[in-house]
Amino acid sequence: MIYLGADHRGFELKEKFKRWLGELGYKHEDMGAFEYNRDDDYPDFAKAVAEKVASEASAKGILICGSGIGVAIAANKIKGMRAGTAANAEQVRASVNDEDLNVLALSADYTSEEQAKEITKTFLETKFSGVERHVRRVNKIKELEK
């Protein structure tokens, strides 16, 4: 399952992603915003997505705000989250492969729709390598959550 969330700055791109993910056959759930509201707050949607991803082992999340940074910071406050931004497909491939990235944070203001789709498709298709050094490092990250 893929959980989607966006504030007002990412709302339009999230709505497009819902259609696009459906066309690709991905099962997804919208965690808000459910309507455009220029006064909404990105931490609310980051929390909703992160809690869902944390509760399901194979779930992934996609969060969108203006910079992508705010939603990543907020999501990473939830235990079990490894949220990050990516500027290109190679970076997100490395992040999933090495750090087991489970929430992708996208910038609506600094990423084109096509770039965001390419980054997202790579995020969804890439698997964690499971290589011992990467497992060790992810476990050290988990230790920081205690």
Q: Active-site residue among 4, 21, 48, 65? A: 65
Amino acid present at 117: K
Terminal CA-to-CA distance of the chain, rounded, Å?
A: 27
Question: Rounded to an integer, what distance in angstroms lies between the CA atom of residue 2 and that of residue 102?
Answer: 10
| pLDDT tens digits along 61-91 | 999 999 999 999 999 999 999 999 999 999 9
Could you tell me if 17 and 62 are in contact, meaning their C-beta atoms sit under 8 angstroms apart? yes
Query: 127, 5 in Cβ contact below 8 A?
Result: no
For the question of residue 60 being annotated catalytic, the response is no
- The structure's pTM equals 0.97
pLDDT digits (tens, 9 = 90+) for 41-61: 999 999 999 999 999 999 999
User: Rounded to a whole number, what is the largest CA-CA distance in the chain?
Assistant: 45
